[in-house]
Structure 1
Amino acid sequence: MGWFDHTRKGGRYEHSSFPPVNDLLKKTGQKSGADAVWEGRLSWKNMPLRTDATRREVTALDANAAYLAAFKTHLPIGQLTHDTSGTHDPKRAGIHLITPPAWDHADLPSPLGDRRKTGDVWITEPTLRLMQRCARDGLCEAPVIRESWTSGATENVLEKLRRTLALVRREAIEQGDEVTTEYLKAAYSKFISTMGESTYNREIRRPDWMHILRSQAFANLWLKAHRAHKAGLTVVEVTGTDELHVVGDWRQLWDEGRDLSEMKPKHTYTLGGSDQ
């Protein structure tokens, strides 16, 4: 939080650290810790491919610093206000109750993530924008917005912090300083996980930011999967914030490395064939 406050000095936008918490963002129970918002978490496997006897070499890729990359997202600045117009204002951000469209692609995960329930669902800004992008690309119909809770928004709230941490992380990697690298990872991950209703962070209470940042990480991974698919690679698995399994030459899309724009291979394995 100290780093965040330092990078906000002289910032163009003043954000609220303790706006009233919308009931939709309050936990429903101490044990579950769940509220009404769906983050679009990915947990997808290409099941038709796994029953295919054709032999394929799969590379499991890891997206670097997924939560740090998610700092580049539209965050609401002030208190969320209610809107029932059913329209989306790109200058605002928050949470939205939508009727999701059908997803009819067996070779790509739904941008809504691993949601088993049907019907209307509360989602965050990154998930809505991702689904709208899918609609523009002809992959599905546009989601129908039923109501929203939003505030004026900007992508710049965490931008200086993101750039600073990315620079320090890059320097630490170049110097082989794994202690600093792991410390930074723990710091920005804890920053996100405690900015909601947490007793460990008493300097900010923005559960809407927490959900939006997590959703942006899932959306970023989905975009990587879609990029691989468009380039002719076969997408085998997309999981969490950083795991993408593909068949094909992934190096045509990403350089190998640990920078935010790069991907690193974790391991390879074989699908299909006589030994499966």
Structure 2
Amino acid sequence: MSRRKSGDALTVAYIPSARLEPLITIKDTDDLIKARTEMELGDFSQLPVLRGKKPVGVVSWQSMGRALARNPAATLADCLDIDFPRFRLDDDLLQAIGDVNRHGYVLVMGDREQIVGIVTSADLGEALADLTQPFLHFERLEDILRRIFDALKARGALSSEDVGRALPRSSRELSAPAQQFTLGDLVSVLTEKAVWPRITSMFERVTFQRSLQEAVAARNKIMHFRELAAADERTVAALPNLIRVSAQLLVDLANGSE
């Protein structure tokens, strides 16, 4: 899946199926049984139909069902949706989403009006899940760190002086609850040399701090849709592990206060 740089539009090209090689199509001179065979074997819901190299319609299970209900002897031409939505690779993906939802697909066209791909509802769902998953991971990590922060404060193990030492240039109220601090702030406070032993003795502070700081840096890039380096990709891939261990720290902290 392509990565965008900061400020770039989220385009149709972001979806892998927008560029398919080989792209499975059929000719307008093929018969309906050919279309059905290709759709069954490829598990396709829609299939572009070409005349030469240009699309003249799309056959789908829905269009096929409508045509055969009217006429059991319907041909491929009878089953075509000729009013099919089309977009280019550099078109705004957000504008294409509405057509995908209405039609179940959009065709993706190249510079010479040839079809280069097709984006279906399933493709869109997978891509958006891939796009949002890191945000969900970061939200979970931030929630855990906030809860650790507030748990320390509740048991008198985190003072305003501790917060001020970790965030000497912060303009925030040092006695504020965790909700008032950023993810980077939370990492700085919780991995501060004097604070860390109050959380755990099971993990080495500097190594854990580095992992959290790398997560913050990757999050900032993702939030602004900047291109990720290979190290950032590894950090994002390792987020579930970081979340799992951080969650265990919260559990251990809660158990230790009982």
Q: Which has the larger radius of gyration?
A: 2
Instruction: Place the TM-score, normalised by the shorter chain, in its bin.
Output: under 0.3
Q: More helix by proportion, 1 or 2?
A: 2
Q: More strand by proportion, 1 or 2?
A: 1
Q: Which has the higher contact order (CA 8 A, sep 6+)?
A: 1
